Amino acid sequence: MIEAILFLLLGLVILLAAGESLVRGAASLAKLANVPPLVIGLTVVAFGTSAPELVVTVNAVLGGAAGIAMGNIVGSNIANVMLVLGLPAILTPISMAVPRLRRHALALILATAVFCGMVYWNREIALTEALVFAGGMVLYFALMAYEARTGEADIALEAEGLVEARPHLGKTLALTIIGLVGLPIGATLLVNHGEHLAKMLGVRDEIIGLTVVAFGTSLPELATVLAAAIRREASVSAGTIIGSNIFNMLFVGAAAGFAGTSRFSDEAVTYDLPMMILATALVAVLIFTRRKFGRMLGIFSLTVYVAYIVFLGTGSV
């Protein structure tokens, strides 16, 4: 068991490092090719930051570990709200009165409704679901493009922060190659040993995806929001979390469906999806009422998240 845990953690470290390397390398490569910053932000940055979740999910589906794939999507969305926003909120309240955040919250509600509706309909993600999710992703991509063109979003500025003023070709290629090679290696270690660990513990595959994998792939967002909270600028991170959750359901969900058929277990439908809906409802209500994610709410959400993880870890489900 110790060996499986060590290799699982090694896969997680490789996955995160490779994901960061790929985003930076690809963004620099696009800049060297004179691709406008706006396009870099809308494509490389937006899709690249979902690379760990994407590769893990596709790898898990292709490897017959659909439970890990589905647990990763749902678990990441739960962690992004309850943990990634909840923990920093304990340090400093996070304002949800961010300009234009309501339209993205509405997009999150619609994406969650579509995702959960399709799953509750036939308890699987296959080609039909993939096409629906892909269509939703195109619509959300159009919203981001509109905001960027009208100067309502800072996506281009975000992209600029990932690249040097004058990127070096050799370094850029090295970062890109490391990312491309490292992602599948990390994902393979994570999925194979995660599935092995689940069998050894006698729990369903989704639990590994909901806990270890989801927590690990949410670490970059957690580090970013925590750093922003220390600077008392965490409010700007709310939009990042919303966008990340939408990408997880629509972009990663579509990729899973195109890769194969993944079925949700009865336990996942009974416990995990409702938890994701609860997390979505929590952040959506705060955004539409323009209330802060305050310290008490942060303590509450973190407590609920920990209790949920312990509940899963007991093997009760």
Residue 142 has pLDDT above 50, yes or no: yes
The residue segments making up the domain with residue 52 are 2-313
Residue 76 has pLDDT above 50, yes or no: yes
What average pLDDT does the segment 215-233 reach? 70
pLDDT value at residue 44: 61
pLDDT value at residue 236: 59
For all residues of the chain together, what is the average pLDDT?
80
Residue 235 has pLDDT above 70, yes or no: no
Better-predicted residue by pLDDT, 163 or 313: 313
What average pLDDT does the segment 100-104 reach? 84
pLDDT value at residue 238: 74
pLDDT digits (tens, 9 = 90+) for 257-277: 999 898 888 888 999 999 999
Residues 6+ positions from 290 with CB-CB distance below 8 Å: 96, 97
What average pLDDT does the segment 204-222 reach? 75
What average pLDDT does the segment 32-37 reach? 67
Percentage of the chain exceeding pLDDT 90:
25
Domain total in the chain: 1
What average pLDDT does the segment 61-86 reach? 87
Using pLDDT thresholds of 50, 70 and 90, give the confidence band for residue 242.
Answer: confident
> Residue 223 sits in a domain of what CATH number?
1.20.1420.30
pLDDT digits (tens, 9 = 90+) for 173-209: 888 788 777 777 876 776 677 667 766 766 677 787 7
Better-predicted residue by pLDDT, 48 or 300: 300
pLDDT value at residue 294: 87
pLDDT value at residue 267: 86
What average pLDDT does the segment 12-32 reach? 74
pLDDT value at residue 281: 95
What average pLDDT does the segment 228-233 reach? 67
